[in-house]
Amino acid sequence: MNARKSLFTNTKSTKYNLVVFFVIAFIFSGFSQTKPKPKPVEEKPNKLITIRHAKRLSYDQSLGIDARRLIGDVECEHEGAVMRCDSAYLYSDKKLQAFGHISIIKGDSIFLYGDSLRYDATTKLANMKGNVRCIEKDMTLTTNTLIYDIGNSVASYYEGGKIVNKENTLTSKNGHYYSGNKELTFHYDVVLTNPDYIIRGDTLRYNTINKIAYILGPTIITSKENYIYCENGWYDTENEIARFSKNALIVNEHQKLLGDSIFYNRKKGFASATKNVQIIDTTAKNKSFIVGDYAEHYEKRNKAIVTGHAIYGKIIEKDTLFMAADTLFYEQPDSVHTFVKAFRHVKIFKKDLQGLCDSLTYLLHDSLMTMYNSPILWTNNGQVTAKLIKVTAGETNIKYFELLNNAIVVQKVDSLDEKKFNQIEGKKIEGFFAKDSLGEQVIRKLNVIGNAQIIYYVKQKKNYKGVNKTACSDLTTWFAGEGVDRVTFRNKPESTVFPLKDINDEDMRLKHFSWMENKRPKKKEDILIK
């Protein structure tokens, strides 16, 4: 028997077989008049590869009984996919091995090119190797090895690949392109490069229709403006909006923003964060932070708004100033100025200073804090109230305060006595701080300007002997320990000294006296309690 045989069956034999078939069919049809017609058999999809063209075709038994060799402008088809090459081996019309200038065309949109191909009609898997390219519209995938599932229109690579379109270039070790829903999934060493930013991650899914990148693992996004990290989320590469979650943070030149979930609009430079929000000042000079339940951050203005258990913290020397409010505003309009604004239910805690008010501004560049609407300050055994209070915090500790309108300073004479208080009142009071023997900031000096009044307990040796009550225009008081050390009166002072035995302590009160120790935050946790 010859190695090569004809591809065509005998014509006469074929005609004879057809005649016999129709005769038999006619005979049996007479007996089937009363029987129901059989249901038409559904056509199954073609499982065989069809040869559309080849310059030379021959059988080669050295490759198998049903193996054919195709040479020259080879073109085959299987279920809508057209495969072209220089030469190929076809096995039982089910498996194709192709070589040279290989292309696969699926419909009018997907084009694949490579150096060699193995295709299985049963699994519909095409394994292409060598300079592989997959092109769909403006997207081009290049790799060395590609597995293309023709039935499901899925292209996969496992040895590194690159995808390029008009805006982006993406590389990864593994990748899958789902042509049906226009999605790509990438794993391991994923890098998406855009002229404006770079995305690096472990797993990334990208939709070519809506141009949204879905983040499915630890991912870093870098740009000129900021550094972004998250482990879950999505990024709209066309509109440049995103949602980041799971350890999400955004870092720019001035601040670091963290939250359980962060929405980000890159074009507007806007971010909003929810739950476990932190805004940390990354500049060395401020050393501050804000936490809360919700935040809005405007990176172009270096501005932030925080609500929901909002707390601001400023590191001062070895201590930290904490400030809580319903709403906190933080802004750095330039490299010099930084300020914080607090609104409603404002509370302040520092080891040597506590306070309450309804609203507050804090100019960090001037170390100036201004308290509005019934403000109160406590320092050690002293209490300060006025219509308006200004405090200079300094870089290391509290230095100075200024009280305006209905200003009064109340000092407990004895920590164990709830009735005896030194009191100083006037239109304006200036207070100066200094460290005591224990290193704590205490009031050392008070200047009272306008309508000055003072009530203080006079001490001789270890015992109190009486109470001095004086009114004048201005006065200066110095403190030592827990009491008044000396006083200087100006402009016609009117003084009365009452023996201790002749007075009722509760009658020794100035007009605006009040003692609100029960409202004082005793520890930093107290500022969260309304």
Of all residues in the chain, the percent with pLDDT exceeding 70 is 88
Place of tokens 């015992």: 463
Residue 318 has pLDDT above 80, yes or no: no
Short-list 161, 157, 158, CA closest to 169 = 161
Mean pLDDT taken over the chain: 84
- The tokens describing 355, both together, are 């306070």
Q: Does residue 219 register a pLDDT over 50?
A: yes
Looking at residue 335, its pLDDT comes to 72
Asked whether residue 36 carries a pLDDT value surpassing 60, the answer given is no
| Nearest CA among 254, 256, 221 for reference residue 243 | 221
In the chain, ranges of CATH 2.60.450.10 domains: 46-151
Return the number of other C-beta atoms located less than 10 Å from residue 289's C-beta: 19
Assess contact for 304 and 330: CB atoms under 8 A: yes
pLDDT-based confidence at residue 464 (cuts at 50, 70, 90)? confident
- pLDDT for residue 2: 38
Asked if 54 contacts 74 with a C-beta cutoff of 8 angstroms, the reply is yes
Q: How much is the pLDDT for 252? A: 85
Return the structure tokens found at 296: 């809005």
Average pLDDT over residues 345-365: 91
The residue-averaged pLDDT of 290-306 equals 91
Phi and psi angles of residue 462, each rounded to the nearest 5 degrees, phi first: -105, 0
Q: What is the DSSP letter of 389?
A: E
- pLDDT at residue 44, as a whole number: 53
Q: Band the pLDDT of 359: cuts 50, 70, 90.
A: very high
| Percentage of residues in the chain having pLDDT higher than 90 | 47
Closest CA to 165 of 215, 237, 243, 239: 237
Q: How far apart are CA 424 and CA 470, in angstroms?
A: 10
CATH 3.40.50.300 fits 46-151, yes or no: no
Multiple choice CATH, 375-530, 3.10.20, 3.30.310, 3.40.50, 2.60.450? 2.60.450
